[in-house]
Structure 1
Amino acid sequence: MSYSQMGIILGSWQLTYIIVAIIAGAILDRWGIKKSLFIGTVIIGLSATLRYFPIGFSTFLPIVAIFGIGGPLISVGAPKTIAGWFRGKGRGTAVGIYTTGPWIGGFIALSATNSLVMPVTGYSWRLTFVYYGLLVFSIALLWWFLARDIEPTEAKEGESIGRTFSRLIKIRNVRLILIMGLLSFAIMHGFTNWLPKIMESVGMSPTISGFVSSIPLIAGIPAVLVIPRLVPPRLRGRILAILAVVVTAALIVSVNTSGAPLFVGLVLFGISGSSLFPILMLILMDTPQIGEKHMGLAGGIFFCVAEIGGFSGPLVMGTLADMTGSFFAGAFFLASLSLTIFVMTLLLKAAPDPHSI
């Protein structure tokens, strides 16, 4: 296969994800978290296991694309699960753990695949996919037998998805959170995806740039475990505004300095940028008109919109780099998006603090 064909394959699940996200949210609200997350996990397992069989572009494409069907059921279902299972500071901690899960899982997979899994499978990439598929199936079974569901006590029976969607989208905080989610995903994906190349462009070797590019991730993991828990609901808008300002400054510093200032800039970006998503998700969960009862659909709408930013951020960064010959313009563009988030936080309605403990 050509690089362009592989690029289409690797990006196919994201396109599927955006299309399916809202539908997945509605399914979660109607079927419940236990059944929905089980089905989503099984679909992901199938996508991994079936990669043993493809022999070319036309057979590989749909198998990778179906990952985007199971993915939204997990990423949307997890916040709905947290909204139903946790309250107060426990909810903030749970969102932080949920946010770090993909990072830690990705790190473990990258570390273990070549060193542990590939030797066991005889260095067969096909059998390696089967191994990970079987691992996912085992996780699905654990979830099915150990998870508890929540009875939908407040959902309006018989209300159409379209009517519920219309009602949710009329809520000012929801509209603001959607736009800020799109902008935050554009910032995070746009900067982190290009960070190794940004570091190489200032003279670092590929090896060193890889290590340096991991600094935001390392700094972000403890931040998202602590900040969402410590911030009370009534102050989340203000903290979001502060984080947006710090992200703006960190972006400018990271592309204009070297040595210690660069290190500080990347650490600050990791702490502030990584904390945007969990704070936004907590504000969405605690919006009175949403709560656990509509968190599935609300989360689906959020991820549908936010992933558009996740796709467009790296695209704009690359385009501006081609046009200007450097990454400065792209970094300043992302900084302007962060300032837009700051302005939008001033329009957020402060949430009540009924669950603080």
Structure 2
Amino acid sequence: MYSGLLCVPPMVHVIREEFGMTNAQVGLLMSLPLAALAVAAIPAGTLADRIGIKKATVIGAAMVSAGGFLRGAASDYVLLYLSTGLFGLGFTLIFPNLPKIVHAWFGREKAGVATGIYTTGIALGGTIPYVITLPFILPITQSSQGVFYVWSAPAAVAFVLCWIVLDEPKRAEAQTTPQRGDMPLKVLKDRNLWLASLLMFANCLHFYLWVSWAPSLMVLKGATPEVASAIASMRGWFGMLGMFLMPLYSYRIGLRKPFLWGSGLLLGCAALWAIVMPLAWGWVLMSAVGFVISGSFAMKLALPSELSRGGAIGSASGMILSIGYLGGLIAPWLAGYLFDLSNSLNLPLMGLFVIGLAWGFIGTLLPETGGRASPPAPIK
């Protein structure tokens, strides 16, 4: 999923030239899959609760594969948007299922560590396009459409594997039968899930602004597009470490909250520093941003399992992702729009500083879900 999604940022200058698009329009291209996730994550999570993990995941993988392939056939930006929308709908069917799969296979106690492991795969899929798209794939394909064809292949392989290998976990089967009809409404009334959703909103806003525009930021500071993509890829490499190590250390000490609110403050300061730092420090900046933002993201993906009560993990996950990914919807387009207006990314970076402060405050309001806390009581 993420290799198809994040092959766009390294090619911003190529897509603009081939399709005659502005920065804001390219930002919208990045936002479309996240828009689908924001709009449809709650019903997708509820659907997964009802029909089971395997059916929802296989359908989603088929849509991601088809949408990724059709992007390569797009002859104008309207068709490019439509095929990207199909890709996004498939993305939406898969993503809310991931916390449910973790809970079914590993239980609440190990959900954070298991989430850190599978999100390492997410980080790898989102990092490799920065490293190989411009120096290797684009010279062979000679167009962004050819690059889209290449990056549709992993999704096709994932579809086949889901169809053949994936089994419905026994614990998930028990959860998908039968569920109270008012469970989604109960989820929407849960204060803690709203706080978790706001944290995910801030995390996604930071994450998708960095992944969309970090290469352009480095170009503004004097890097070539190839070097800029290499610098931006440090976010992914160190993000893989953060996705594994931050949840692991959190579980060892039995605390979540310091990692959740501390990440926001650190990322806010990093955004402010990015405005004035020289290019040579870009490697350090992107490494630090990647470790913190991806580690905190992995911990937030475990929150539906840790906070939801009863059997509504899919619905809780859908709520957190739906609200959270509004940040991913807004950030790439708005940053591109401000980039077009000012020929600078300073305004978006100042916005990240403010959001980071708000993130830190919200993190202090969330209850502790670590080993030192009592498990949530079931809904009566």
Flag whether TM exceeds 0.5 (same fold): yes
Give the match for residue 85 of structure 2.
65
After superposition, the Cα gap between the structure-2 partners of 1:133 and 1:244, relative to the gap in structure 1 and judged at 3 Å, is closer
- Does residue 182 of structure 1 match 2:193? no
Secondary structure in structure 2 of the residue aligned to 1:270 = helix
Letter in 2 for 1:343: F
Give matches, 1:127-146, under 5 Å: 136-146=155-165
Q: 2:323 aligns with which of 278, 301, 305?
A: 305
After superposition, the Cα gap between the structure-2 partners of 1:257 and 1:236, relative to the gap in structure 1 and judged at 3 Å, is same
**Cα offset, 1:58, TM superposition:** 6.4
After superposition, the Cα gap between the structure-2 partners of 1:11 and 1:87, relative to the gap in structure 1 and judged at 3 Å, is closer
8 Å CA contact 1:32, 1:150 repeated in 2: no
Q: Deviations over 1:69-114 (max 9, x none)?
A: 2111211112211121114674333212322323322444663798
**Cα offset, 1:181, TM superposition:** 0.8
Separation in 2, partners of 1:326, 1:135: 35
Give the match for residue 213 of structure 2.
194
Separation in 1, partners of 2:336, 2:73: 34
After superposition, the Cα gap between the structure-2 partners of 1:51 and 1:93, relative to the gap in structure 1 and judged at 3 Å, is same
Separation in 2, partners of 1:246, 1:100: 21
Give matches, 1:148-297, under 5 Å: 148-151=167-170, 152-154=173-175, 157=178, 159-160=180-181, 163-232=182-251, 234-258=254-278, 262-289=282-309, 293-297=311-315
Letter in 2 for 1:347: L
- After TM superposition, the structure 1 stretch with the greater mean CA deviation from structure 2, 106-115 or 62-71, is 106-115
Q: 1:15 aligns with which of 14, 19, 35?
A: 35
Separation in 1, partners of 2:215, 2:153: 33
Q: Percent identity?
A: 21
8 Å CA contact 2:49, 2:175 repeated in 1: no
Give the match for residue 47 of structure 1.
67
Secondary structure in structure 1 of the residue aligned to 2:97 = helix
After superposition, the Cα gap between the structure-2 partners of 1:32 and 1:354, relative to the gap in structure 1 and judged at 3 Å, is farther
TM-score (structure 2 length as normaliser): 0.78
8 Å CA contact 1:191, 1:331 repeated in 2: no
- Does residue 83 of structure 1 match 2:103? yes
Letter in 1 for 2:210: F
**Cα offset, 1:25, TM superposition:** 0.7
After superposition, the Cα gap between the structure-2 partners of 1:192 and 1:130, relative to the gap in structure 1 and judged at 3 Å, is closer
8 Å CA contact 2:135, 2:226 repeated in 1: no
After superposition, the Cα gap between the structure-2 partners of 1:123 and 1:352, relative to the gap in structure 1 and judged at 3 Å, is closer
Separation in 2, partners of 1:170, 1:216: 36
RMSD between aligned residues:
3.5
**Cα offset, 1:41, TM superposition:** 1.1
8 Å CA contact 2:123, 2:237 repeated in 1: no
After superposition, the Cα gap between the structure-2 partners of 1:133 and 1:250, relative to the gap in structure 1 and judged at 3 Å, is closer
Secondary structure in structure 2 of the residue aligned to 1:84 = helix
8 Å CA contact 1:21, 1:301 repeated in 2: yes
8 Å CA contact 1:255, 1:328 repeated in 2: yes
8 Å CA contact 2:61, 2:156 repeated in 1: yes
TM-score (structure 1 length as normaliser): 0.82
Letter in 2 for 1:69: L
Q: 1:100 aligns with which of 115, 120, 123?
A: 120
Q: Deviations over 1:234-290 (max 9, x none)?
A: 411121122222212222223222266554333222211122211112223211515
**Cα offset, 1:60, TM superposition:** 5.5
Secondary structure in structure 1 of the residue aligned to 2:355 = helix
Q: 1:34 aligns with which of 44, 54, 59?
A: 54
Separation in 1, partners of 2:301, 2:367: 15
8 Å CA contact 1:247, 1:269 repeated in 2: yes
Letter in 1 for 2:197: L
After superposition, the Cα gap between the structure-2 partners of 1:207 and 1:124, relative to the gap in structure 1 and judged at 3 Å, is closer
* Unpaired stretches in structure 1, ≥5 consecutive residues: none
After superposition, the Cα gap between the structure-2 partners of 1:200 and 1:173, relative to the gap in structure 1 and judged at 3 Å, is same
8 Å CA contact 1:223, 1:274 repeated in 2: yes
**Cα offset, 1:116, TM superposition:** 7.4
Separation in 2, partners of 1:348, 1:198: 33
Give the match for residue 358 of structure 2.
340
Give the match for residue 3 of structure 1.
20
**Cα offset, 1:39, TM superposition:** 1.5
- After TM superposition, the structure 1 stretch with the greater mean CA deviation from structure 2, 342-351 or 139-148, is 139-148
Separation in 2, partners of 1:325, 1:62: 28
**Cα offset, 1:133, TM superposition:** 5.6
Q: 1:327 aligns with which of 319, 324, 345?
A: 345
**Cα offset, 1:135, TM superposition:** 5.6
**Cα offset, 1:141, TM superposition:** 3.4
**Cα offset, 1:50, TM superposition:** 4.8
- After TM superposition, the structure 1 stretch with the greater mean CA deviation from structure 2, 256-265 or 236-245, is 256-265
Give the match for residue 377 of structure 2.
none
